[in-house]
Amino acid sequence: MTIEFEVETYKIPAWALSPLVNNDYTGIIDDDEAFVDNLYEWLDGEYGRGLWHIGEVSEQFFGRSDFGGLSGDMCDVDIVYRV
């Protein structure tokens, strides 16, 4: 049996990577913590709880997030999920 994976790339605020990757909310204000929690919830709903993980992350660049339309320092983040 072969397990297949797919990759989707999203623009995610650079400040959100520490809580997403390391579950480290140090220095994150309440509104930003809510953003990350909502992003986790969306990813779990979209790909299944425990069936996705963070893959490659690009260098920071100025842009607009794919979530909530936030502007600022972003990274292209690969979400790897099981098909």
Per-residue pLDDT of 16-73, as tens digits, reads 999 998 999 999 999 999 999 999 999 999 999 989 999 999 999 999 999 988 899 9
| pLDDT computed for residue 38 by the predictor | 95
What's the N-to-C CA distance of the chain in angstroms? Answer: 13
Its domain, for residue 67, covers 5-82
Instruction: Quote the number of domains for the chain.
Output: 1
Q: How confident is the model at residue 2 (pLDDT cuts 50, 70, 90)?
A: confident
| pLDDT computed for residue 26 by the predictor | 92
CA distance 67 to 75: 12
CA distance 52 to 6: 10
- For residue 66, CA distances in Å to 10, 32, 69 come to 6, 15, 6
| pLDDT computed for residue 69 by the predictor | 85
